[in-house]
Chain A
């Protein structure tokens, strides 16, 4: 398979790009931020995502979805990133659906139709400390009667306050540091003992600290197998990581294009500042970095979709490289805009904020570079 978008994917890209530009441009984010919206995204837009067929892209046709892959989801995410569109697409339709695809039919029937219809939103309850360390999960799920009793705290649960269901990673066995003994649960938002404390993040998204106080779930709430949650979780995380990387490429490309546009307009010393070699070289370097990141992300998406055994390595390469490149794009973006780049009125700052949040989501560049070293044997 050649490493570029085929004709169908290019058509999809064109239509997604048109949709986002018209329905969810950066002004949409600004409007929501200014309204101090409690959910951090528009339910109306989420419905439109469903009408466009985005919400069920990764669900199988048998389950009412489109049976597409990570390359296609990445096309949507890149445009989401470029337009800084607030939406639950990454958590719900990419990571969440990838996990649910591993669940039994009853659970798929329970949740997928709502997701595909744009009515249901999921949250991922994984992190327990300020950094992403999935093997270190300590939260307990003890057997209780016919099911489990969950106790513990989760944080950085994006859309956790408004989600209809949380995918919760907890320990049914083993101890922190081990991958065995982890189990994934689908926990409904109104479960007794569950409380979510939502807080606004730097990028205006909402993320919750979630407390589980003797939350009881039945055995039917287990996604996959008890104690074997790591394999489902790995699939979910790989889709989420690759998706976050794709969104970051969109954020970086959006920031870069905006900056290049500014360089061609802004005049100082009697000439457009884009004619200064000091800025040209930095911009050309940035462009190169973004192109490399884009290539790494597409390679990871293709390998995941092919089920290639080299996929995990490339997923970490993609998340790390997209993280480094996009971070450069937003830093150069603000700097090259000069004073106006520091103003709230101008959009470039929004790109910097979204990059910061996406960098942390599903593991930052340091986390993934470390995994690359481990997977490479050192």
Chain B
């Protein structure tokens, strides 16, 4: 047996022993997802047991080095763990912007001291992070951000506001882009880290068209930030931000059929009925669903090629922008058809039978896909300039 085969067998056995049956059920409610943090509580014993077993094994962040709270798995082992968790439909033990966003930035740009402290806190789910990027006046033109940190010797005094801060009202700490030099647009931003419990920080949830409030407005009023709480170099935070945006686009690009969701047409046929030939009995809708399947399966191949080329370092560095554009537009199209196929039932906003309006809420949520993390229009700008090398106006 090869090392990887042995690893797969061990992993399978470990999962069998440690992943409770309840943690193999699909996620239904928001509190089925464990986000960690100072104020977190477990929904039930199974969630707690699964989380704790993973922390002890380093499996909340399996591919991070052991000294930072991971299991030190190689990419091949990490892929096997994902496959085996997928096989038994295990829920992720911990969801967190610390894992997805800050962690990768720290691994690349952090000091050893920062890595030991912050990465271990993330891995153990002790600190829940949020991301402070966009501002009311700085959306697509992110680099125009105005939140300012005034240098006071051993600390900065930060004033300004952020918007679309995911779960800021529930987060313990924030990683935040703050202007520290007003004379240089790109080289005047520092990537700061600070405690959301600091004096002068306040948050206000934003009610979205989907009826939920995953985002907040976040206000900073004379917030003191010690001068050692930043990543990379002072005034060079844009480098870190750009790195993280690329990373975020890769994650978002996995939506829309690339995630392995099956044929929508097949799923809705029982509800809509079939003709004598066994075809979905709604010919125009069937045609649209067929086109969607063509797009989704083709995109799935594109996603596979993208990941394979990424591993072999064959990609153009701007490719994640294309993946983000295509993946999010496809996901929106899919949800338009979910609504069209769902008919009047998909209009129900609260009924128990519809899972509290899962379809319309999910549909509306997808409209943000092509806005958050860089709009489709910005993605198209990047593709045309960096890949196609079309000139500036």
Q: How large is the interface on B (under 10, 10 to 19, 20 to 34, 35 or more residues)?
A: 35 or more
Q: Which of B68-76, B196-204, B287-295 interfaces with chain A? A: B287-295
Tell me which residues across on chain A come within 8 A of B312, comparing CB atoms: 2, 4
Q: Considering the chains assembled together, what is the distance between the CA atoms of A260 and B387 in angstroms?
A: 11
Interface: B353 (CB within 8 A): no
A288 near B322 with CB under 8 A, answer yes
Contact of A4 among B314, B388, B392 (CB under 8 A): B314
Q: Name 17 interchain pairs, CB-CB below 8 A, sorted by A.
A: A3-B304, A271-B393, A274-B391, A275-B390, A277-B393, A283-B384, A288-B322, A291-B302, A296-B298, A313-B297, A314-B297, A369-B290, A372-B290, A376-B265, A377-B269, A378-B263, A378-B266
Q: How far is the CB of A56 from chain B (nearest CB, A)?
A: 29
Chain B neighbourhood of A298, CB < 8 A: 301, 305
**A234 interface residue (CB < 8 Å to B):** no
**A74 to chain B: closest CB distance in Å?**
14
Q: A281-B384, A376-B266, A378-B269 are in contact. List 18 more A-B contacts (CB 8 A).
A: A2-B312, A3-B309, A280-B385, A284-B388, A287-B383, A287-B387, A292-B299, A296-B302, A298-B301, A318-B298, A321-B298, A365-B294, A369-B287, A370-B287, A372-B290, A373-B289, A376-B263, A378-B266
Residue B18 interfacial (CB < 8 Å): no
Residues of B close to A299: CB separation below 8 A: 301, 304-305
Q: Which of chain A's residues 349-378 have a Cβ closer than 8 Å to chain B? A: 365-366, 368-370, 372-374, 376-378
CB distance from A167 to the nearest CB of B (A): 28
Query: How many residue pairs bridge A and B at CB < 8 Å?
Result: 141
Q: How far is the CB of B376 from chain A (nearest CB, A)?
A: 9
Q: A373 touches which one: B279, B311, B383, B385 (CB < 8 A)? A: B279
Distance in Å from the Cβ of A286 to the closest Cβ of chain B?
Answer: 9
Q: Once bound together, how far apart are the Cα atoms of A103 and B384, in whole Å? A: 50
Contact of B151 with A by CB under 8 A: no
By a CB distance below 8 angstroms, the chain A residues around B221 are: none
Q: A287: which of B299, B322, B391 is its contact (CB, 8 Å)?
A: B322
A contact residues, range: 35 or more
- Tell whether, in the assembled complex, residue A373 and residue B384 are in contact, meaning their CB atoms are under 8 Å apart: no
Assembly CA distance A272 to B304 (angstroms): 36
Query: Which residues does chain B contribute within 8 Å of A318, judged by CB atoms?
Result: 298
Check if B388 sits within 8 Å of A287, measured CB to CB: yes
Q: What 0/1 pattern do residues 272 to 310 of A give for CB contact below 8 A with B?
A: 101111011101110110011101101100000000000
Q: Which residue numbers of A lie inside 8 Å of B, CB to CB?
A: 2-4, 260, 263-264, 271-272, 274-277, 279-281, 283-285, 287-288, 291-293, 295-296, 298-299, 313-314, 316-318, 320-321, 324, 365-366, 368-370, 372-374, 376-378
In the assembled complex, the Cα of A293 lies from the Cα of B290 at a distance in Å of: 16
Residue among B312, B325, B377, B383 with the most chain A CB within 10 A? B383
B393 close to A276 (CB less than 8 A): yes
Q: Which residues of B sit under 8 angstroms from A292, Cβ to Cβ?
A: 295, 298-299, 301-302, 326
Q: Max chain B CB contacts within 10 Å: which of A264, A366, A368, A373? A: A373
Q: Is the CB of B301 within 8 A of A277?
A: no
Alpha-carbon distance between A324 and B294 when the two chains are bound, in angstroms: 10
**Known contacts A4-B312, A321-B294, A284 near B383 by CB under 8 Å:** yes
Known: A3-B301, A3-B304. A373 touches B380 (CB 8 A): no
Interface residues of B in 278-331 (CB under 8 A from A): 279-280, 286-287, 289-291, 293-295, 297-299, 301-302, 304-305, 308-309, 311-312, 314, 322, 325-326
Is B381's CB within 8 Å of the partner chain A?
yes
Q: B78 to chain A: closest CB distance in Å?
A: 17
- The answer to whether A281 touches B380, judged by C-beta atoms less than 8 angstroms apart, is yes
Is residue B274 within 8 Å, beta carbon to beta carbon, of the partner chain?
Answer: yes
Residues of A within 8 A of B269 (CB): 377-378
How far apart are the CA atoms of A317 and B326 in the complex, in Å?
A: 17
Determine if B266 and A377 form an interchain contact, defined as CB atoms under 8 angstroms apart: yes
